[in-house]
């Protein structure tokens, strides 16, 4: 002990605690992506395809530009993914009605089938972790994660959660 710069830090802010949190994030993220990754690697898809599929499912009729803001990649990178998904008939791209420059994206039936398969796998692990940790832990989990986001992404996160229910 005796770390001068941590003087005001109560116990839960100790260096060691924070370090363990960092490592927990690292290890947990691996578990988090593992099940969908395993499904995807049997096809010609990767995690980038999963992310696109997830957020198209979540916000049907979203535009490419909106998706770019959520995923935080370049349009070239997203376009490569979308191109294969469209070519394979999993995603449909429609020209916007009010603004015809925009492309509105939605899953086809086949795309929705894959989305369900992926999210079922990911949800199962999430639910098991939630069950094991208990409801209060889950509330805390969400609270810390939300505080960890960049402000602009936090806004998007909240907006997505509020839209369709």
Give Cα separations from 12 to 20, 26, 82, 137 (angstroms).
11, 19, 44, 15
DSSP designation for 132 = H
Instruction: Give 99 or 164: the residue with its C-beta nearer to DNA.
Output: 99
Distance from C-alpha of 45 to C-alpha of 115, rounded to nearest angstrom: 12
Minimum CB–partner distance for residue 15 and DNA (Å): 25
Collapsed DSSP state (helix, strand, coil) of residue 100: coil
Stretch that binds a copy of itself, among 24-32, 81-89, 90-98, 99-107 (CB under 8 A): 24-32
Q: Which residues from 36-75 bind a copy of itself, rule CB under 8 A?
A: 51, 54, 58, 72
Please count the residues of this chain forming the interface with a copy of itself, following the rule CB under 8 A: 66
Give Cα separations from 129 to 64, 122, 135 (angstroms).
33, 11, 10
Question: Could you tell me where the DSSP H helices lie in 11-108?
Answer: 15-40, 47-58, 64-71, 75-87
The verdict on 113 binding a copy of itself (CB under 8 A) reads no
The verdict on 146 binding a copy of itself (CB under 8 A) reads yes
Q: Contact residues for a copy of itself (CB under 8 A)?
A: 5, 8-13, 15-32, 34, 51, 54, 58, 72, 119, 122-123, 125-150, 153-154, 156-157, 160-161, 165
Q: Contact residues for DNA (CB under 7 A)?
A: 44-49, 51, 63-65, 68, 71-83, 93, 95, 98-103
């Amino acid at each position: 002990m005796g770390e001068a710069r941590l003087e005001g830090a109560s116990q839960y802010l100790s260096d060691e605690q924070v370090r363990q949190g960092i490592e927990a994030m690292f290890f947990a993220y691996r578990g988090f992506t593992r099940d969908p990754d395993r499904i995807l690697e049997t096809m010609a898809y990767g995690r980038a395809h999963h992310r696109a599929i997830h957020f198209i499912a979540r916000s049907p009729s979203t535009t490419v530009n909106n998706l770019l803001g959520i995923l935080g990649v370049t349009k070239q990178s997203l376009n490569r993914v979308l191109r294969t998904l469209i070519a394979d008939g999993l995603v449909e791209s429609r020209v916007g009605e009010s603004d015809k420059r925009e492309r509105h994206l939605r899953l086809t039936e086949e795309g929705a089938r894959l989305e369900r398969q992926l999210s079922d796998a990911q949800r199962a692990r999430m639910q098991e972790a939630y069950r094991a940790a208990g409801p209060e832990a889950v509330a805390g989990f969400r609270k810390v994660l939300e505080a960890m986001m960049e402000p602009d992404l936090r806004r998007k996160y909240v907006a997505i959660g509020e839209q369709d229910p």
